[in-house]
Structure 1
Amino acid sequence: MLNKLPLLMIIILSISSTILIGIIIRYLYLFITISYKNYNVNNITIVDRCSSILPYWLPLLEGLQNFGQQILPDYPFNIMQAYKKTIMPLVIFYVTHPTLAFIIFFILYYLFVRNKSPIPNRPFIRFNVLQSILLFLINSLLGATFRALPIEFRMSLYGLMLCNTLFWFVLSTIIYSIIKSIQGKYAKIPVISQAVRIQIDNRL
C-alpha cells in the first residue's frame, strides 16, 4: 500500500497540472478573443507581443532538456547557480512529465495552426506560434539524433563541442525571436522564418 502511494500522488499531480494548464490556456484564449474585438488585424498590440513570447517556452525547455543538462554543469559556478534557481525547476518538471510537451503542442496546433482555428486571425501571434512549434520540432529531432550517437563520442571533446553548438543555436534563435516579439517585429531566422511565412501565406 505504501509503495502505491507515491505513484498515486504522481498521477494526481500530473492530472492536476494538466487541468491547471488547460484552465490557464482557456482564460488566455478568452482574454485574447475579447481584447481583439476592437482591433485591426494588422495592428500589433501589447497583448500580441506578450502572447507571442509564451509559446517559446516549449522549444526552450526542449533544448535545455536535450543539450543544457549535459553542458551547463561545466559552465562557471555563477551561471549554474542562476540556472538552478530560475529555470532548472521548470526543466525538471518538463522532463518528469514527457506527455506535457505533446499536450501543449496539440493545444497550440488546435488553436493556431489548423484551418478552422477558434482564435481570431492574428498574423503576428500565428507567426510566432508556428515558429515556436517548428523550433520545438527541430530541437526534438536534433536531440534524438544527438542521443543516438555513441556515448563515447557524446562524452568526448568533439561531442561536447557539438552539444555546445546545438545548445547555443537553440538559445540564440529563441532569444532573438523573443526580442523581436517584444519589439513587435517579425523574426527573420534563415529557412525557419521563411517556412513559417510560406505556411501563413498559404492559409490566407
Structure 2
Amino acid sequence: MPNQLPLWIIIIISILVLAVGGILIYYISLFIFDSSKNIDKQDITVIDRLGSILPYWLPLLEGLQNFGQQILPDYPFSLMSVYKKTLMPLVIFYVTHPALAFIVFFVLYYLFVRAKSPIPDRPFIRFNVLQSILLFLINSLLGAIFRALPIEFRMSLYGLMLCNTLFWFVLSTIIYSVFKSIEGKYAKIPVISQAVRIQIDNQL
C-alpha cells in the first residue's frame, strides 16, 4: 500500500518509543521515590504497576497470531465482532512486521532484565518484564510446534481442540499476570514464575 510506512521507519520509531518510555518510567520513579524520605524502596507504586502491564502485549499478540486467528472465527459472532474492532488491527500489524517482535524483545531485555541495565533496578517491573519475555518465548515455541504438525491434524477436531487449549492457556496466564500487576502483587504461575525468580536471583 502506498500509505504504508517502510519497515525500517517503524522499527526506529518502535525503538525510540520503548527507549523514551523506559527513561520516562525511570525519571518518574525517581521523582516519586525522592519526594518523601519515608517511602520504602520496596513499595510498589502506580508507575510500577503500569510499567508491569505493558510488556504483556508482546506474548498476547504472539498468542493471538499463533492460535487466536485459527479458532476465533468459530466463536460467537459478537465475540468475533469485538475482536475485529479492538485487537485484530494490532494483530495484523504484528503479523505483517515479524521483525518488530524480536526488536521489542531485545529492547525490553536490554532496558529491564540485563544485569547492567541502564535503568535502576525496580524488582516488580523487572519480574513482570522477564515473565512476559518467558511467556513470549513459550508462545513462540508452542506456535512453531503447532505449525509443524500436519495440516490434516491441525484442521481436524483434535487439532482444533489442541489449538483451543493452547490459546486459553496463553490468554489465561496473561490475564492473570495483568490482574496481579494491577493489584501490585507478584504472579505465581507454576514453573514459569519460579523460573523467573531463579533467573533474577542468579543475577543478584
| Normalised-by-shorter TM-score class | over 0.9
Question: AA paired with 2:191?
Answer: V
Map of 2:202 onto structure 1: 202
What pairs with 1:90-109 in structure 2 (closer than 5 Å)?
90-109=90-109
Tell me how far apart the structure 1 counterparts of residues 203 and 118 of structure 2 sit (CA, whole Å).
14
Give identity over the alignment, percent. Answer: 73
CA contact (8 A) 1:59 1:135 kept: yes
What pairs with 1:36-115 in structure 2 (closer than 5 Å)?
36-38=29-31, 39=33, 40-115=40-115
Partner of residue 6 from structure 2, selected from 1, 13, 17 = 13
| TM-score of the pair, normalised by structure 1 | 0.93
> After TM superposition, where is structure 1 displaced by more than 4 Å over at least 4 residues in a row?
none
CA contact (8 A) 1:41 1:121 kept: no
| TM-score of the pair, normalised by structure 2 | 0.93
Structure 1 gap ranges (5+): 1-5
Question: AA paired with 1:130?
Answer: L
Map of 2:127 onto structure 1: 127
What pairs with 1:128-167 in structure 2 (closer than 5 Å)?
128-167=128-167
Map of 1:3 onto structure 2: none
Deviations 1:75-131 (A, max 9, x none): 000000000000000000000000000000010111112111001110000000000
CA contact (8 A) 1:73 1:80 kept: yes
Structure 2 gap ranges (5+): 34-39
Q: What displacement does 1:9 show?
A: 6.1
Tell me how far apart the structure 2 counterparts of residues 108 and 31 of structure 1 sit (CA, whole Å).
14
